[in-house]
Amino acid sequence: MRALTLAGITATLTGFTSSAAVVLAGLRAMGATPTQAASGLVAACVLQAIAMLWATRRTRIPLMIVWSTPGMALLASASAPQGGFPAAVGAFLVTGALIVLTGFWPLLARLVTSIPTPIAQAMLAGVLVQLCLKPVAGAIADPAVILPLVVVWLALMRFAPTWASTAAFAAGLVALGVEAIAGDGVDGRILPALEFVAPTLDGGAIVGIALPLYVVTMASQNLPGTAILASYGYRAPWRFTMGLTGVGSMVSALFGGGTLNMGALTTAMVASPDAHPDPAERWKGVRVMGIGYGVMAVFATALMALSDVDPAVLAAVAGLALIPTLASSLTAAVSDTAHRLPAVVTFLVGASGVTILGIGAAFWALLVGLVAYAVLRPRAPAAGR
C-alpha cells in the first residue's frame, strides 16, 4: 500500500505541476478574468478528484481522470472568441456534450477514430508551437528570470525527465515569490473560490473552439488512455467513462473550467507493475490521486494570484512542459512518409495562428489537412500491375 500511495502522490504532483500553468494560460487566452481563471482551475481540480474517487470505487481499475492538457494548450494558442469568455464556456459545454454523445452513439466514435492520426497530431503540433516559443521569447526579454528555469528543466530532462516540468514549475514559483517580495506583493484572492459563468452559444466559438477541442481531447487523451490501460490488462468501461468525463466537463465549464478526460501518459505511473505487483490493487493509487487533487484545489487560487506578479514566468513554464508533447506530436505526424506532406500542411496552418470568420487556426488546420490528405493520398496500384 505504501508503494501505491507514493505512486499516487507522484502522479498528482507531476500531473498538476506540469500542466496547471497550461490550464491558466488557456483560460486567460479565452478571455477569463483572473478570478474566473482561478475558479476554473479550482473547479477542474475538484471535479477530477470526485471523478477519480467515484470511478475507482465503481470499476476497481486505475481509471485516471484528468484535465485535457493538449486541449488547454490549444486554447492558449488561440484568440478569445468574439463573445468573450461566456462564448468560450458555451463551447466547453458543447465539447462535454459531444464526449457524452460519443459514449452512446457508435457512429460519432467511428468518425473521430477515422480522422487520420498524422492530421490530428499535426494540428496539435501546430497549435503547440506558439506556446513552446514562450521560453525563447522570455529568455530574450528577461534572461535573469527565465534562463534559470530553462537550465533547471534541461538538467532534470537529462537526469530525471519525469520531474523536469515539476522542477521548472517549482523554480518558477520561487522566481515569482522573489519578485512579489521585491515588488508590491500579491494582489487578488488567495483562498479558493468558485465563480459561476453564464454560458452563451456562439457559432464561431462552437466551430473554432468546441470541435478542435473535442478532436484533440479524443485523439490525444481518451483513445490513447484506453489503449494504455488495455496494455496493462484493464478494459475501461467506454460508456461510463465518456459519460463521466463528458458530464464532468460540462459542470466544470459552468465555473470556468476546461475539459476532463482519461489520463494517458501519467496512467503508467499507477497502472504498471512498478506501482504494485497485484493488478487488482492498483486502483488504490488513483484513489490517492483523487484525494491529492482535492488538496491541490486549495492552492489553485493562490497560484493564479502569484502568476499575475509576472505572467511571463508561468508562460515559460507552460512552454517548457509542452515541449515533450510537441516532440511526440511532430514524430507521429511525419513518421508516415506517405502522408508526410499533408501533415506538414496541417502543421503550417495550425502554427500560423490565422483567424478567419472569427474561427481560429485549429479548425482551419484540421479542415485544410483533411482536404490535403484526400488530394495527396497515394493512389493504389492499378490491377494487374
| For range 166-189, the mean pLDDT | 84
pLDDT above 70: percentage of residues in the chain: 97
Per-residue model confidence as pLDDT tens digits over 241-277: 999 999 999 999 999 998 999 987 678 778 888 788 8
Name the pLDDT band for 304 (thresholds 50, 70, 90).
Answer: confident
Per-residue model confidence as pLDDT tens digits over 17-58: 888 889 999 999 999 999 999 999 999 999 999 999 999 999
Q: Give the CB-side neighbour count of residue 299, counting CA atoms within 13 A.
A: 13
In a domain, 59, yes or no: yes
Of the candidates 12, 38, 19, 16, the one whose C-alpha atom is nearest the C-alpha of residue 192 is 38
Per-residue model confidence as pLDDT tens digits over 361-374: 888 888 899 999 99
Residue 360 has pLDDT above 70, yes or no: yes
Residue whose C-alpha cell is 522542477:
167
Residue whose C-alpha cell is 484535465:
67
Per-residue model confidence as pLDDT tens digits over 79-137: 889 899 999 999 999 999 999 999 988 888 788 878 888 888 898 888 888 889 999 99
In a domain, 254, yes or no: yes
In a domain, 369, yes or no: no
The pLDDT, as a whole number, for residue 381 is 55
In a domain, 43, yes or no: yes
Of the candidates 269, 265, 226, the one whose C-alpha atom is nearest the C-alpha of residue 19 is 265
How far apart CA 13 and CA 143 sit, in angstroms, is: 27
Q: Which domain holds residue 214?
A: 2-121+134-323
Could you please report the per-residue DSSP string of 131-171? HHTHHHHHHHH-HHHHHHHHHHHHHHHHH-GGGHHHHHHHH
Of the candidates 272, 240, 313, 248, the one whose C-alpha atom is nearest the C-alpha of residue 96 is 248
In a domain, 79, yes or no: yes
In a domain, 143, yes or no: yes
Residues near 259 by Cβ (< 8 Å), separated by ≥ 6? 67, 68, 71, 92, 95, 96, 99, 213, 217, 245, 249, 252
How far apart CA 145 and CA 18 sit, in angstroms, is: 19
In a domain, 168, yes or no: yes
**Where is pLDDT greater, at 213 or 353?**
213
Q: Give the count of domains, the chain.
A: 1
In a domain, 21, yes or no: yes
CB atoms within 10 A of CB 114: 7
How far apart CA 28 and CA 39 sit, in angstroms, is: 12
Residue 356: burial class (beta carbons within 10 Å; 0-12, 13-18, 19+): exposed
Residue 365: burial class (beta carbons within 10 Å; 0-12, 13-18, 19+): buried
The pLDDT, as a whole number, for residue 258 is 87
How far apart CA 340 and CA 350 sit, in angstroms, is: 15
